[in-house]
Amino acid sequence: MVRGMPRLHVRPRRMVACVLALVAFSLIVPVLASAQFTNRTLQQRNRAQTGSLDEHIRKLNNPDPDTRLEAVRQLAASRDRKAVEYLIQSLGDTDMRIRAKAVEALGEMRAADATQVLVQQLFLRTSEPAMKQRILAALGKIGDPRAARPIVEFLQLDLDPATRGTAIYALGEIGAVEGLEVLHQLANHDQDPTVRRLAREASAKIEYYQSAKAREAKGPTDTFLPKQPPQPPR
């Protein structure tokens, strides 16, 4: 050591704390910068999607059916809840391809707002069997209990086997108790073995769903914690 040179007394703990603080700061700064960049990117993307959504909505009024079909596809791909209203409007399009795509999109988006309109479309005499099957599949995906009773009534009509089977499947997917009676009847008395099998599977789904729902509503009956007596209000 050089004579006359003062000794530096640095506490080891303080030095370690300083080093750790510098390391933490060097790690946090890039994270914050990345978060700010991500937020800006998301905001720009949302603005772009809003603009494109408006553009697709305008295309729904285009006289060219291919342009309208592409607009419906883009609205479906957007997954924007604002698109539901316009997809419902597209159910009345003169082009079957557009109606079919709108039905499919509403089912994929679980759009309960479309339930009543889809049920109305289901009972239209002008709706082709293939369209009715798409509507039933969409109602099953949406899972709105309000659709169960109309589907039960629909099953009383003279239906082709494919449409009938799709209606039974939809009741099972919806899981409402309103479908159990007709499903039990079909499972026990229908002449078609495929219908009996589908009805058994659908009724089993409903019973399982309702049982799980009841358990969830009831809550746990016992816990590992000791039960405490109710406390009087203060």
* The two three-digit tokens of residue 181, written as one number: 């009676």
Dist. CA 184–CA 58, nearest whole Å: 48
Distant-in-sequence, close-in-space partners of 56: CB < 8 Å, separation ≥ 6: 71, 74, 75, 78, 83
CATH number of the domain where residue 61 is located? 1.25.10.10
**What is the per-residue pLDDT for 43?**
46
**What is the per-residue pLDDT for 38?**
54
Residues 63 and 88 both lie in one domain = yes
Per-residue pLDDT reduced to its tens digit, 128-173: 999 999 999 999 999 999 999 999 999 999 999 999 999 999 999 9
Q: Tell which of 109, 133, 160 closes a domain.
A: 109
In single-letter form, the type of residue at position 76 comes to A
pLDDT band at 218 (very low <50, low <70, confident <90, very high): confident
Residues 68 and 123 both lie in one domain = no
Residues 129 and 183 both lie in one domain = yes
Using an 8 Å Cβ cutoff, are 140 and 175 in contact?
A: no
Q: How many domains does the chain have?
A: 2
Residue at 198 is within a domain: yes
Residue at 19 is within a domain: no
pLDDT band at 52 (very low <50, low <70, confident <90, very high): confident
**What is the per-residue pLDDT for 208?**
95
* The two three-digit tokens of residue 71, written as one number: 């607009």
Residue at 194 is within a domain: yes
Q: Tell which of 109, 136, 153 closes a domain.
A: 109
Is pLDDT larger for residue 215 or for residue 225? Answer: 215
SS3 180: helix
Is pLDDT larger for residue 68 or for residue 19? Answer: 68
SS3 31: helix
Residues 56 and 137 both lie in one domain = no
Residue at 17 is within a domain: no
Residues 92 and 182 both lie in one domain = no
At 215, give phi and psi (nearest 5°): -65, -40
Dist. CA 100–CA 95, nearest whole Å: 9
> Rounded mean pLDDT of 95-107?
97
The string of DSSP codes covering 84-137 is HHHHHHGGG-S-HHHHHHHHHHHHHTT-GGGHHHHHHHHT-TTS-HHHHHHHHH
Residue at 24 is within a domain: no
Residue at 3 is within a domain: no
Residues 208 and 141 both lie in one domain = yes
**What is the per-residue pLDDT for 216?**
83
Residues 60 and 103 both lie in one domain = yes
| Opening angle at CA 150, ends 209 and 134, nearest 5 | 80
Residues 102 and 138 both lie in one domain = no
Mean residue pLDDT across the chain: 83
Residues 53 and 105 both lie in one domain = yes
**What is the per-residue pLDDT for 179?**
96
pLDDT band at 25 (very low <50, low <70, confident <90, very high): low
**What is the per-residue pLDDT for 203?**
97
* Residue 175 neighbours by CB distance under 10 Å: 20
Residue at 180 is within a domain: yes
Residue at 31 is within a domain: no
The CA-based dihedral angle spanning residues 213, 219, 221, 222, taken in that order and rounded to the nearest 10 degrees: 130
Q: Is the pTM value of this prediction over 0.75?
A: no
Domain that holds residue 81: 48-109
> Rounded mean pLDDT of 88-115?
97
